[in-house]
């Protein structure tokens, strides 16, 4: 089936959702890039699964109910339905498009303890919301922890109601709790999967344990506190002894001493998380918290591999790109045939930079009226190793406005590429003479380092 998915690129689902880029899949499901609907330019992802005759209606009903959930740390589902390609009956669900997931990062490196501590709160808040509304996740693992812009989110298309039998593919997963296959799906199972995931993101491997034995997995001693204690209490074989998500939150926030190993009452893992609700989950509002700032690092400015993962069990991701060099001193760009380079310090925001421009917004000798520098969050700035360069080609209208801006060299990070492109669109140039003697194209290079942002501008050919 996996070879068939790719051949369906270009087809249309339900006469509305075009299957654009094939993002990845398995024998059982596939994910494509799409648009939310006719006239809607927003990107979305569409997931296709084979329609099981017995469970199709239940699955559609479940997806439609999940689409009514609205939490900033849960991937939103927009619409679900049926389709048929070449005689194959399929179900589809349209959901938010996530650029990256945590499983793409782990082959490159483990997270630091600070990054892991920053990852946990948004995931715990998503679990709190799901559990309070009568859902359990059932598939918590790195591939289902995603980034959209500056938010960390948990996938939602696998949500199910507690008490359902766990006899599907999730019961044989490496992340499955000991009771999988013999007991109903529960919030305690989510806690076990979170513990397995926590160990993996810190060590790049799952904890070793023998399912045939009754002992809990051994959590490696080098995992720092309080993360080691959290993992140990998540990975209790007896689900009644596992910490609740609220216990994990309290331990992270230092609200109370760590609980003893005494068994807790049954169903404790389903209790609500006692995390204060934030006004916004945007990362740049949390920059005062060092752990949260560090968590942004692994999604925003990490090196990107060239190809997407071969298997995408439950969610989608775009391919990433290759690595950036280690920390290096900032270098000034060559000035020959270029406008004077502008620079903003690390603390700077989105400013007009036209040091040589005359008053009144007139063009300077370089032909540039206004330079706009990208606004870089403090957390993203701290994540830079060496220098990240992004080149943008702009086409200038006769009035001197940027008519079109395209990436000529995107660099290793989608975040820095995006903010460079947005800044370039705001540049202003001198009006072009009617005789065509001036260049209608410019090339801008933005160079980001921990200390500052620099830009150089070179005229294109006439």
DSSP characters for 151-211? EEEE--TT-B-TTSB--SGGGGSTT--TTBTTBB--HHHHHHHHHHHHHHHHHSSPPP--T
Q: What is the pLDDT of residue 265?
A: 41
Residue 136 has φ and ψ, to the nearest 5°, of -125, 155
Distance between CA atoms of 323 and 304, rounded to whole angstroms? 6
Q: What is the pLDDT of residue 261?
A: 43
Q: What is the pLDDT of residue 4?
A: 75
pLDDT at 448 over 80: yes
Long-range contacts of 220-229 (CB under 8 A, 24+ apart): 223/113, 223/199, 224/113, 226/251, 226/252, 226/258, 227/113, 227/116, 227/117, 227/198, 227/202, 229/258
Q: What is the pLDDT of residue 13?
A: 92
CATH number of the domain bearing residue 376: 3.30.1150
pLDDT at 361 over 90: no
49 touches 90 (CB < 8 A): yes
157 touches 47 (CB < 8 A): yes
Q: What is the pLDDT of residue 142?
A: 93
Q: For the whole model, what pTM was predicted?
A: 0.61
pLDDT at 342 over 70: no
Q: What is the pLDDT of residue 40?
A: 59
350 touches 366 (CB < 8 A): no
428 touches 370 (CB < 8 A): yes
Domain span including residue 233:
100-300
Q: What is the pLDDT of residue 390?
A: 92
Residues 162 and 57 in one domain: no
Give the distance from CA 110 to its chain's centroid: 16
Q: What is the pLDDT of residue 377?
A: 79
Distance between CA atoms of 31 and 19, rounded to whole angstroms? 9
Q: What is the pLDDT of residue 53?
A: 65
Distance between CA atoms of 317 and 99, rounded to whole angstroms? 5
The confidence band for 426, taking pLDDT boundaries of 50, 70 and 90, is very high
Count of domains observed in the chain: 3
The answer to whether position 332 is within a domain reads no
Residues 171 and 37 in one domain: no
Which of the listed residues 41, 69, 96 is the one where a domain comes to its end?
96
Residues 6+ apart with CB under 8 A from 425: 394, 402, 405
Tens-place pLDDT, residues 24-73: 877 788 999 998 865 556 889 999 998 876 788 899 999 999 999 999 99
DSSP string for 70-116: --TTBPPEEEEEEEEETTEEEEEEEEE--SEEGGGTTTT-PPPHHHH
End-to-end alpha-carbon separation of the chain, Å? 52
Which of the listed residues 61, 81, 96 is the one where a domain comes to its end?
96
Q: What is the pLDDT of residue 454?
A: 92
Distance between CA atoms of 406 and 396, rounded to whole angstroms? 12
The answer to whether position 377 is within a domain reads yes
Distance between CA atoms of 250 and 100, rounded to whole angstroms? 29
Residues 170 and 280 in one domain: yes
Long-range contacts of 36-40 (CB under 8 A, 24+ apart): 36/78, 36/94
Residues 6+ apart with CB under 8 A from 320: 100, 104, 302, 303, 304, 305, 306, 308
The confidence band for 181, taking pLDDT boundaries of 50, 70 and 90, is confident
Tens-place pLDDT, residues 134-178: 999 999 999 999 988 778 999 999 999 887 766 554 556 889 999
Q: What is the pLDDT of residue 298?
A: 53
b/e per residue 426-435 (b: at least 16 CB within 10 A): bbbbbbbeee
CATH number of the domain bearing residue 254: 1.10.510.10
The answer to whether position 41 is within a domain reads yes
Long-range contacts of 286-291 (CB under 8 A, 24+ apart): 287/377, 287/378, 287/379, 289/118, 290/114, 291/114, 291/115, 291/117, 291/118
Residues 6+ apart with CB under 8 A from 85: 8, 11
Which residues, in sequence order, are bridge partners of residue 342?
455
The confidence band for 295, taking pLDDT boundaries of 50, 70 and 90, is very low
Residues 280 and 367 in one domain: no
135 touches 159 (CB < 8 A): yes
Q: Is 435 helix (H, G, I), strand (E, B) or coil?
A: coil
Neighbours of 348 (CB within 10 A): 16
pLDDT at 444 over 90: yes
Q: What are the residue ranges of helices labelled H in 398-438? A: 414-424
Distance between CA atoms of 369 and 47, rounded to whole angstroms? 47
The answer to whether position 322 is within a domain reads no
pLDDT at 284 over 70: no
The confidence band for 183, taking pLDDT boundaries of 50, 70 and 90, is confident
The answer to whether position 150 is within a domain reads yes
Residues 121 and 238 in one domain: yes
The answer to whether position 182 is within a domain reads yes
Tens-place pLDDT, residues 308-341: 443 444 444 433 333 333 333 333 333 333 444 4
The residue-averaged pLDDT of 83-105 equals 90
């Amino acid at each position: 089936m996996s070879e068939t998915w790719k051949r369906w690129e270009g087809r249309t689902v339900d006469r509305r959702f075009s299957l654009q880029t094939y993002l990845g899949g398995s024998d059982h499901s596939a994910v494509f890039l799409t648009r939310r609907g006719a006239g809607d330019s927003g990107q979305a992802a569409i997931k296709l699964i084979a329609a099981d005759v017995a469970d199709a209606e239940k699955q559609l009903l479940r997806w439609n109910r999940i689409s009514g959930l609205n939490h900033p740390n849960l991937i939103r589902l927009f619409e679900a339905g049926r389709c048929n390609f070449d005689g194959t009956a399929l179900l589809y669900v349209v959901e938010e498009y996530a650029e990256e997931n945590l499983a793409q990062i782990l082959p490159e490196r483990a997270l630091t303890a600070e990054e892991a501590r920053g990852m946990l709160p948004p995931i715990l808040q998503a679990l709190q919301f799901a559990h309070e509304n009568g859902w359990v996740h059932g598939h918590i693992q790195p591939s289902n922890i995603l980034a959209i812009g500056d938010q960390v989110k948990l996938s939602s298309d696998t949500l199910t109601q507690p008490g359902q039998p766990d006899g599907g593919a999730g019961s044989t997963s490496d992340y499955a709790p000991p009771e999988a296959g013999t007991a109903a799906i529960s919030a305690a199972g989510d806690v076990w999967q979170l513990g397995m995931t926590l160990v993996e993101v810190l060590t790049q491997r799952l904890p070793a344990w023998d399912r045939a034995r009754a002992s809990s997995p051994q959590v490696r001693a080098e995992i720092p506190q309080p993360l080691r204690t959290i993992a140990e209490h998540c990975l209790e074989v007896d689900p009644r002894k596992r910490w609740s998500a609220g216990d994990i939150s309290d331990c992270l926030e230092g609200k109370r001493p760590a609980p003893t190993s005494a068994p807790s009452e049954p169903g404790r893992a389903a209790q609500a998380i006692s995390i204060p609700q934030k006004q916004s989950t945007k990362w740049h509002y949390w920059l005062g918290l060092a752990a949260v700032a560090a968590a942004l690092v692994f999604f925003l400015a990490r090196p990107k591999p060239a190809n997407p993962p071969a298997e995408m069990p439950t969610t989608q991701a775009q391919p990433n790109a290759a690595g950036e060099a280690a920390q290096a001193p900032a270098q000034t760009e060559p000035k020959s045939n270029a406008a004077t380079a502008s620079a903003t310090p690390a603390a700077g925001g989105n400013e007009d930079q036209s040091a040589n421009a005359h008053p009144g917004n007139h063009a300077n000798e370089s032909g540039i009226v206004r330079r706009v520098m990208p606004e870089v969050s403090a957390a993203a700035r701290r994540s830079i190793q060496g220098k990240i360069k992004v080149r943008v080609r702009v086409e200038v209208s006769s009035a001197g406005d940027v008519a079109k801006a395209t990436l000529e060299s995107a660099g290793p990070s989608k975040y820095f590429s995006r903010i460079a492109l947005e800044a370039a669109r705001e540049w202003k140039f001198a009006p072009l003479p009617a005789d065509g003697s001036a260049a209608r194209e410019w090339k801008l290079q933005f160079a980001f380092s921990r200390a500052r942002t620099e830009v150089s501008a070179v005229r294109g050919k006439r």
